[in-house]
Each structure stands twice: as C-alpha cells, then as structure tokens.
Amino acid sequence: MSSINYESFVREPLVDGDKNYSKVTEEIVYTIETKPTRLWYIGFYISVALLCFGVYSIYREVVYGVGQWNLGRTVGWGWDITNFVWWIGIGHAGTLISAILLLFRQGWRTGVNRAAEAMTIFAVMAAGQFPIWHMGRVWLAFFVMPYPNTRGSLWPNFNSPLLWDVFAISTYFTLSLLFWYSGLIPDVATLRDRAKTKIRKLFYGIASFGWTGSTKHWQRHESLSLVLAGLCTPLVLSVHTIVSFDFATSIVPGWHTTIFPPYFVAGAVFSGFAMVQTLMIITRKVMNLQDYITLGHIEAMNKIIVLTGSIVGCAYLTELFMAWYGANMYEYDAFFKYRLAGPYGWSYWIMMTCNVVSPQLFWFKKLRRNIEFTFIMSIVVNVGMWFERFVIIVTSIFRDYLPSSWSLYYRPSIYEIGFYLGTFGLFFTCYFLFSKYFPVIAIWEIKHVLKTTGENYKEQMQGLEKMSPEEFYNETHHH
Amino acid sequence: MTIKKFVVGCFDDEKVLFPAVKSIRNQGYKIQDVYTPFPVHGLDKELGMRDTSLHTAGFIYALLGLTTALGFISWILTMDWVQNYGGKPHFSLAAWIPIMFELTVLFSGVGMTLTFCYLCQLAPFVKKHHFHPAATDDKFVLVIECTSNTNVQEAEQFLAAQGAQEVNVQVAETGWWLGRYDMDRKLFDQKASVATA
C-alpha cells in the first residue's frame, strides 16, 4: 500500500518525457548541428531586409536631420521615444525570468531563461538606437560621456534624468550580457566537445573560453550567477524607474506623476512576458522543444501577464482619479480632454482594450493553456503596450500651454516607421542567428533539474512510495 | 606548466559518484578534480573544497563603484566646475542616487565576472587538457593525481570497483596554454614524461 505520493498533484514536471542527460544534450543541440530549415531562411532574410530598410531610414535621418521624422513643435518626442520605451520594457522580462525567478527558486525558469535573456540583450540593443539617433547630430553622441573634456571643462549634467538613462541603460546592457554569456559558456563547451568540423571547433573553442566543467569552477560559477541575479534584480527595477523619470521629473501635465515608476516597471514586465510568449511559442514549435518549454511554462507566464496587466490597469485608473482629484486644471485637461477624448482618443481606447480588458481573459485556465489564444494575446498585449507609450508621449505634448504653439496632427513619416521596422530587423536577425548557433535552452540548467522532476524523479521515488509506513521508518531511521 | 600523470574514471550517475568520492578520499588518493556537465550540489563539500569568496570580491567592487560615483560627481559638481542648475544646491545627493546605484552595480558585476574568469582561467583562445569529451555531456569524470607513492594499477582497479565505467591513465598538462580547439599542438613528449613521472 502506498502511504506517500511523492509526485506533486499541483506542480507539473518541468521536463516532459523520460530523458537522460545525453538525450537532453542531443535534443537541444539538434537544430544547431543540422542545416537550418527553409522557414529559418525565410524568416532570416525578412529580418535582414527590414534591418536594411532601418539602416536606410537612419541614413536619411543623419543626412537630412530629425525633420525626416515628422517631429517638430510641440511633438518633439514621437514614435522614436515611444519605440525606445517599448523595446526597453520588452527587455525587462528576460531579466525578470533569469534573475528574479532564480532568487525565488522558481524551477520553471530553466526552460525559458536562456532565450529570454537573449531577448533582453537584443531588445536593449534595439532600444538604444532610438535615443542615440534622436540626438540628431549623432557624431556628437560622445558628449554624454563623463570625461575631462575639451569643451571648456563642461561636464554632463549629473542631475538630469536623461543622463541617468545613459548610465542605467549601459549598465543594464553590460550586466545582462555578462549574465547571459557566463551562463552560456558551459553550453558552448558542450557544443565544442561535440564539434565535428574544423570551423565549429574553432568557433566554439574560442567562445567556450576553455571551460572544463571542474567542480571548483562550477562552485564559483554558481556564486557568480547568484550574485549577478541579486544585482540584476534591483537593476531591472531601476532601469524602467529611471526611464519613467524622463517623464515624471518634468512639469508636463500628463507626465508629472509620481505613480510612473511602479507603473512603468509593471508595464515593462507585462509587455516583456508577452514578447517571451511570442518567441517561445514559435521557438518550441519550430525547434521541436515542446518537452522543455511545456504548457506549464506557458501557463506560468500567462499568470504573470494577468497579474502585471491588472497592475497596469490599476495604474491607469489611479492616474485618471488623481487627474480629477488633484484639482489641477492642466492635469485635468491633459487626461479628460486630450487623452480620453480629442484627436488621439482612439489610441487611448486601443491601449485600454489591449492592456486592461483583454488580459483579464487569462483568469480562465482553459485560455491560459491554449497556445493559439496565448499567441494572439501576446501580440495584442504588445500592441497595447506600444500604444501606452504613444498615448503617454504624444497626447501629453501635442497640446502646449499656449494654443498658438499647438501642433498639427502628428503622423509619423515613412522613415520614422522604417526606423522602427529596422529595429525589428535588428532584433530578429540577432534572434535567428542566436537560435541557429547557440542552444536556446540552457542545457546544463535542464540537466541540473532533470532528476528532481518528471519521469526520473518518479522512478527514484517509486521504491519509497511502495513501502509500508514501517518499512519507510526503518529505511529512513537506520542510516 | 607542470606535466603530471592521472588516473581517470568516468561515472554515469551522480548517485554512484558520491560514495565513490568518499571512499577514494578515505583510501588516501588525491582527487585532482571532478569534471561534471552541470553543477552537482554538495560535490564541492564532498571533495573538501572551501566556499568560494567570489561574492566578497563582488561586495568590494560594489563599494568601489559607489565611492567612485559619489566622489567623482561631488568633485565635479561642487569643485571642478560649479554650475547652477535651476537654483538647486550644488551638493544635491538625492539627484545622484540613480548614477551612484548604477555604478555600484556595474563595478560589482563587471569586477566579479573578470575575477571569475581570472580565477578559473577562462578567456578566448585559452586551451586546457580535457580528460573526457563527454564531461560536458553526460559523464562525471573523476581524476586522481598520481604521486610518487601511487600504485597506478591499484588505483585503476579501485576506481573500477567504485563503479567507474571507463578507467584509463593519462599524462597531461595541468595548466592552460594558448591554443585553438581545431588544431592540436604537441605540448610535450609523452614517452619521456611517462618515464620521469
């Protein structure tokens, strides 16, 4: 008679199927060691084409100036800063999965963390383009660097949120890169030791830094990952907080609100998880990794989406309430005349529908575990989050204090859109290359949890489960 | 550069590995290292290793970053080039917190990673001797270092008796050298060194 059941009724296995260590390696590296499929080539070429259009759009902007984008007075920040905040936000889910869930000991992160971290890095790369090229005279971009310069000893203003942003984003990028790459080294070593061709041996040999798998190295590696996770956790919160300071420390009605930092961070995680879902659902299907990125993973991420979506919804309503309760007429007008209604009212309602109403459907378990629905929702959420930034930026500045300087209806130019499409090109080109040449799932982390979950664990515990209470007592107390 | 002789045993399962490590150490053999495809928790303690101090290094780097940011910004804004930003105080600590925090994190993260690479001797073009190619796949490779009083045959038999699947003797360089994994370079004459080992 079985007195104990070791298999959890609540928690699903992290890895499906009966696997051993070598099978895990084989299955994850399969796509790396075989020729890419037609689908991969098509996707890759589309991304490169978009990237090229983006480069051309930037070329136009550098040569002819920011006027190539329909920016002017009073909309000086349009699509570009919207896109900047959107991409930065997307990056946040990667750090959340890899760092915060590591600290919280969430076993399910192992299936998705590698790809999510890669997504963070590519998203931050895409985001960084916008403020850099938005400078206009990009050849003077080095002015943000704090060094004893030849410009009359003029230093950058360290009290400015825009300079904080420079520090925050460069630190974020550096640390994400270190975290991602240090985790990648053991897996690259696996690829190196399996390599058959000369070029693979050379490439993975250089990239693996001579990793051997020594116990002492693993011990240090674990310490490094844990501390980097501890550092990245406040860092990721600080990055979007500082991005929100770009707005919140100004005196523009609609931007000047103290709720911005938590609201931006929640929104960032919300959109980031949506992007992880989009990528993961395609990746698991195309690369046949359904055993590693299970329905359980998708459901867990959908739970985070519904949580952060609700926080964002709360923030929207708080903003509206404060705009009325604060009894400041400019603030009131910014929200009730120009945001909810007015020429850009449509964008507000798109935002509300996509971010607040639709994610609530994830309260239903059936929908959380439905892949097609999740995929559609992931895109809806990202559209919504793009509109959130658009609403915040454009509806707050297209009406100035002086009606004489009110701008005409702001529409993006083709090169402004092209720049945005170009960053999609950059992002997906990088992601396609990454998924072809590096393991999208952290092989060593899967091996690490393999025997604590699923079929392997069941096998281990079967003996114990079959024991009578007396036998179990003898077994456990006589050692 | 030191060349030594090793007895190498490959294990398939960490459940077999742990008791084996214990009895091999009890027997008085010197375990040079165990190479594993993933971090095996508790193995470092079993091998008698002390905890790493890497996190302490991280803390020191963090303090360095914090003082750099505070010292640098306060020197610039209160001494080197004093500017009036909207009538606010020159020493405005609250406004410097973001950059101070970022530099703390940046110094700590970068410093720790570089220290990690230095301690583990990891860098591009670094090459080391690998006792078994499957140590990064599914094998736990236990390596016993032979000293002048080690009976190699006995050690081999003992490893096999502990459950090692593959046992062999290797003469290898213990450190690292600059090299490429697509090219083999003869580091030493194997025959001569076996004779001296």
Q: CATH homologous superfamily for A21-451?
A: Formate dehydrogenase/DMSO reductase domain (1.20.1630.10)
The answer to whether A91 and A123 are in contact (CB under 8 A) is yes
Q: How far apart are CA A322 and CA B1, in angstroms?
A: 70
Report how far apart, in Å, the C-alpha atoms of A414 and of each of A53, A79, A339, A469 are: 10, 11, 25, 74
Residues of chain B with CATH 3.30.70.1110: 3-49+123-196
A186 contacts on B by Cβ (under 8 Å): 37-38, 136
Do residues A442 and A106 lie in contact, with contact meaning Cβ atoms separated by under 8 Å?
A: no
User: 């844990």: which residue's tokens?
Assistant: A226
Look at residue A1 and tell me whether its pLDDT is greater than 50. no
Q: What is the ipTM of this complex?
A: 0.92
Cβ distance A448 to A21 under 8 Å?
no
User: Under CATH, to which class is B3-49+123-196 assigned?
Assistant: alpha beta
E-state strands within B36-165: 126-128, 140-145
Residue B187 to residue A149: CA distance in whole angstroms: 50
pLDDT in tens, chain B (197 residues): 688 889 999 998 888 888 899 998 998 888 999 999 999 988 988 888 899 999 999 999 999 999 999 999 999 889 888 888 888 889 999 999 999 999 999 999 999 999 999 999 999 999 999 999 989 988 999 999 988 888 888 888 888 888 888 898 888 888 888 888 888 777 776 555 554 44
SS3 A410: coil
Closest CA to A425 of A129, A61, A46: A46
**Residue B116: C-alpha distances to residues A184, A189, A413, B64 (Å):** 14, 17, 48, 18
Distance from CA of B154 to the nearest CA of A (A): 25
Q: Which residue has the higher pLDDT, A468 or A248?
A: A248
Query: Inter-chain contact B58–A210, Cβ cutoff 8 Å?
Result: no
Written as one letter, the residue type at A61 is: E
Percent of chain A with pLDDT over 90: 57
Calculate the dihedral angle through the C-alpha atoms of A227, B94, A161, B81, rounding to the nearest 10 degrees.
-110
CA distance to partner chain B, nearest, from residue A347 (Å): 32
**Closest CA in chain B for residue A446:** B38
Q: Rounded distance, CA A133 to CA A139, Å? A: 10
- pLDDT value at residue A9: 64
Nearest to B109 among A21, A161, A231 (CB): A231
Give the number of A-B residue pairs with CB atoms closer than 8 Å.
204
Q: Kindly determine whether residue A210 and residue B102, on different chains, have CB atoms separated by under 8 Å.
A: no
Cβ separation B35–A214 shorter than 8 A? yes
Q: What is the tens place of the pLDDT at every residue in B9-43?
A: 999 888 888 889 999 899 888 899 999 999 998 89
* C-alpha pair distances (Å), B74 with each of A14, A143, A280, B71, B160: 50, 19, 46, 5, 66
Looking at the complex, report in whole angstroms how far the Cα of residue A460 sits from the nearest Cα belonging to chain B. Answer: 11
Assign A390 a pLDDT band (cuts: 50, 70, 90).
very high
pLDDT at A363 over 90: yes
Contact A94, A176 (CB under 8 A): yes
Q: Which of A190, A205, A223 sits opposite B55 (nearest CB)?
A: A223
C-alpha–C-alpha distance, residues A295 and A372, integer Å:
12
Chain A residue numbers with beta carbons less than 8 Å from the beta carbon of B83 are: 157
Q: Contacts of residue A232 in chain B, CB cutoff 8 Å?
A: 109
Do the Cβ atoms of A206 and B113 come within 8 Å?
no
Measure the CA–CA gap between A475 and A460, rounded to whole angstroms: 15
Residue A391 has pLDDT above 80, yes or no: yes
> Measuring CA to CA, which residue among A433, A436, A453 is closest to residue A445?
A453
Please give the DSSP secondary-structure letter assigned to residue A36: P
